């Protein structure tokens, strides 16, 4: 059953690879996305019992996160259709096929209960995303891809090494090298301490590179800046998520080995560091797509901070995965529209978009406010939960720094966003804007994402909260 979450998209990818029509092909995206979403919903509503030894399984953690990715993908897929219609000049065979493949691999990564399998899925996603990044085919796009690949590749290597170390830790601790998380957790204190710590550092850096935690975030602005908005949305909402769940799963093993305190400290430090770096970059950046990348770095920092705050914090972080993913999606999509219409992404050239693309601009501004924790949108609630968890667990100083970083990030974001939305558009941009029409196809999806974020904030269903707490129970088993 849960295997279909992986199989269906991969089959769809294969289908897309052989599909003849360049115009009809994009429709595969929403089709597969819909099926995937329905399956996910079904599994979410009645979760299957996962065999402890299973390498793949729709376990509580997957249940707590995967639906968000599926939802995000569905909306982005709907956007993709009209986007690819706008970009009909480019062949989209590879694009569609790999987008679907990414979905499949993401589902695999979220469900992986085996260290090796998790690694394979994550890195497969990384590689599958490469052609999506240089869809635009400009030299800048290739430069971005090259950096994404080498920095990401280093991450790949390190996380592989980390996995080896964890494996050796179990081997050295007398285990017979079974790398399912269940087995590793069961071995617990039996794992050899030095190897476990080495493994933790390597895996944190490796998967942190994928998440885009500072200082391993350097690929992010280039990649998000040059990739199409839809790809950015899925990278920021899906790929980073899989890396985060990977870290959570590993963190559970480390915790079982009795090194949870150290793990939390490292998570806290790197999280705050990422937020600080992101805030400093946001204060100065002049490119609104790179701005989104830095904001994403900031939110990865928030996630890692939340993960460092124990059970309540992790629950809040899972909540934040949802809210941030969906809100960021809206931002990326509307930013894509604005980028198309303005013909540039730099503050220095883009002005007065509230006149050229009023709807996208409105969505962009609202999304910016939403992502900077303006109530009643989702991120406000999740971040407030993190704050409360931190204060309850006595991390006053960390929370103070957290709030400070949020404030500076807010300054940076508002500066850029209002910079491009207000004022009078340039004449060159006017001509360009004429060519871009704000059809329902490019407006409704981001709007929908905003509504979802709103809904998550105000009327977050109890089942979701229950799912998150179940995931927390899985990660922090209390005997």
Partner 1 sequence: MSGGTLNLFIGLAMGLNLLALGSSRLPSLIRAVSLQGVLLGVMPLLLEHDTFDWRVVLVALATMVGKGLVIPGLLRRAMRAANVEREMAPFISYVPSLLLGAGGTIAAVALARGLPLLPEHAGTLLVPGAIASMLTGFILLIGRAKAISQVCGYLILENGIYLFGLLLIHSTPLLVESGILLDVTVGVFVIGIIVDRIQRAFDSLDTRKLTTLRE
Partner 2 sequence: MPGPLLLFAFAALVTGIVVGVRMSRLWLALTVAGTTAGFGAALMVLLGAADWEWRSGFSLGDELVHLRLDGVSALFLALLCVVGGAGAVYAREYWPEKHYPASAPRGRVWWSALVLSMGLVLTVSNGLHFLIVWELFAICAFFLITLDRQRREVRAAGWLYLAASHAGTMALFAFFSLLAARTGSWDLPGPMRERADLSSLFWLVLAGFGVKAGVFPLHIWLPSAHANAPSHVSAIMSGVAIKMGIYGIVRFSGWLPVPAAAGWVVIGLGATSALLGIAFAFAQNDFKRLLAYCSVENIGIILVGLGAALLALTHGDAVWGRLALAGALLHVWSHGAFKALLFFGAGSVLHATGTREMSRLGGLWRTMPWTAGLFALGSLAVSGLPPLNGFVSEWLVYLGLFDAVTSKGPSAWAALPAAIMLAMAGAMAMASFAKASAMIFLGAPRTQAAAHAHECGMGMRAPMLMLAGVCVGIGLAPILFWPAIRRAAGSWCPGWGAEETPAPLVALGSVHVALAVLILAAAAWLWRKAHTNGLRRGMTWDCGYATPYARMQYVSASFAGIVSGWFRWILQPERKIRRPRGHFPEEALRLERVPETVLERIIGPVSAAIMRVSTTVRQLQHGRLQFYILYVVAGLIALGVLVLLGGAP
Question: Is 443 among the residues that bind partner 2 (CB under 8 A)?
Answer: no
**Site track 173-212 with partner 1 (rule: CB under 8 A), x = hit:** ---xx-x------------x-xx--x--------------
Q: Which residues contact 380 (CB under 8 A, 6 or more apart)?
A: 370, 373, 374, 457
Among 67, 155, 212, 221, binds partner 1 (CB under 8 A): 221
Beta-bridge partner residues of 180: 114
Distance of CA 143 to the CA centre of its chain: 22
Contact of 220 with 441, CB cutoff 8 Å? no
**Which tokens hold the place of 133?**
């990044």
Kindly report whether the peptide bond that precedes residue 376 is cis, defined as omega within 30 degrees of 0.
yes
Question: Is 359 among the residues that bind partner 2 (CB under 8 A)?
Answer: no
Q: What distance in Å separates the CA atoms of residue 83 and residue 336, rounded to the nearest whole number? A: 9
Of 172-180, 336-344, 384-392, 459-467: span binding partner 1 (CB under 8 A)? 172-180
Beta-bridge partner residues of 346: 287
Question: Is 212 among the residues that bind partner 2 (CB under 8 A)?
Answer: no
**Start-to-end C-alpha separation, the chain:** 30
Q: Count of residues binding partner 2 (CB under 8 A)?
A: 68
**Which tokens hold the place of 78?**
């709907």
SS3 143: helix
Angle, CA of 446, 34 and 61, to the nearest 5°: 85
Q: Give CA separation, 81 vs 24, 37, 76, 101, 230, in Å.
A: 9, 17, 9, 17, 10
H/E segment holding residue 128: helix 115-133
Please report, as residue ranges, which positions from 224 to 243 form the binding site for partner 1 (by CB under 8 A).
Answer: 225-226
Question: Is 94 among the residues that bind partner 1 (CB under 8 A)?
Answer: no
Nearer Cβ to partner 1 (163/357): 163
Residue 172 binding result from partner 2, partner 1, none, given CB thresholds of 5 to 8 Å by partner type: partner 1
Question: Is 144 among the residues that bind partner 1 (CB under 8 A)?
Answer: yes
Among 31, 280, 444, 470, binds partner 2 (CB under 8 A): 280
Q: Where along the sequence are the contacts to partner 1 (CB under 8 A)?
A: 115-116, 119-120, 123-124, 127, 130, 134, 139-140, 142-147, 149-150, 153-154, 156-157, 160-161, 163-164, 167-168, 171-172, 176-177, 179, 192, 194-195, 198, 221-222, 225-226, 281, 284-285, 290
Q: Where along the sequence are the contacts to partner 2 (CB under 8 A)?
A: 143, 146-147, 150-151, 154-155, 158, 197, 200-202, 204-205, 208-209, 214-216, 218-219, 221-222, 261-262, 265-266, 269-270, 277, 280-281, 283-285, 354, 369, 372, 374-376, 380-381, 384, 387-388, 391-392, 399-400, 403-404, 406-408, 410-411, 414-415, 418, 422-424, 457-460, 465
């Amino acid at each position: 059953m849960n295997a279909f979450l992986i199989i269906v998209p991969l089959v769809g990818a294969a289908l897309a690879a052989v599909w003849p029509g360049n115009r009809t092909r994009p429709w595969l995206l929403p089709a597969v996305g819909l099926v995937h979403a329905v399956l996910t919903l079904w599994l979410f509503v009645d979760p299957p019992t996962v065999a402890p030894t299973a390498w793949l399984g729709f376990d509580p953690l997957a249940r707590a996160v995967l639906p968000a990715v599926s939802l995000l993908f569905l909306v982005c897929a709907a956007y993709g259709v009209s986007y690819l219609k706008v970009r009909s000049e480019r062949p989209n065979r590879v694009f569609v096929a790999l987008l679907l493949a990414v979905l499949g691999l993401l589902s695999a990564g979220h469900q992986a209960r085996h260290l090796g399998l998790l690694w394979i899925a994550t890195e497969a996603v990384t590689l599958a995303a490469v052609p999506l990044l240089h869809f635009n085919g400009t030299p800048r796009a290739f430069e971005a891809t090259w950096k994404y690949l080498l920095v990401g590749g280093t991450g790949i290597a390190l996380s592989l090494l980390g996995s080896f170390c964890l494996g050796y830790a179990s081997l050295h601790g007398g285990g017979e090298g079974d790398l399912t998380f269940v087995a590793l957790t069961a071995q617990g204190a039996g794992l050899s301490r030095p190897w476990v710590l080495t493994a933790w550092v390597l895996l944190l850096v490796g998967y942190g590179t994928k998440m885009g935690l500072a200082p391993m975030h350097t690929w992010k602005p280039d990649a998000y800046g040059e990739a199409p908005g839809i790809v950015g949305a899925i990278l920021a909402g899906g790929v980073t998520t899989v890396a985060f769940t990977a870290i959570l799963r590993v963190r559970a093993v480390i915790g079982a080995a009795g090194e949870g305190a150290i793990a939390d400290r490292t998570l806290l430090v790197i999280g705050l560091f990422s937020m600080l770096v992101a805030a400093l970059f946001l204060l100065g950046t002049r490119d609104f797509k790179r701005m989104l990348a830095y904001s994403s770095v900031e939110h990865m920092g928030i996630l890692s901070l939340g993960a460092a705050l124990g059970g309540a914090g992790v629950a809040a972080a899972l909540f934040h995965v949802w809210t941030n993913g969906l809100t960021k999606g809206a931002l990326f999509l509307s930013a894509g529209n604005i980028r198309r219409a303005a013909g540039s992404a730099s503050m220095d050239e883009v002005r007065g978009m509230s006149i050229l693309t009023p709807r996208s601009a409105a969505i962009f501004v609202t999304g910016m406010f939403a992502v900077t924790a303006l109530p009643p949108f989702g991120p406000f609630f999740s971040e407030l939960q993190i704050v409360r968890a931190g204060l309850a667990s006595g991390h006053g100083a960390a929370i103070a720094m957290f709030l400070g970083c949020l404030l500076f990030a807010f300054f940076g974001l508002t500066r850029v966003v209002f910079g491009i939305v207000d004022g009078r558009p340039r004449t060159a941009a006017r001509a360009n804007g004429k060519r871009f029409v704000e059809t329902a196809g490019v407006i409704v999806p981001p709007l929908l994402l905003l509504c979802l974020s709103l809904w998550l904030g105000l009327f977050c269903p109890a089942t979701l909260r229950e799912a998150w707490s179940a995931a927390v129970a899985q990660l922090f088993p209390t005997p």
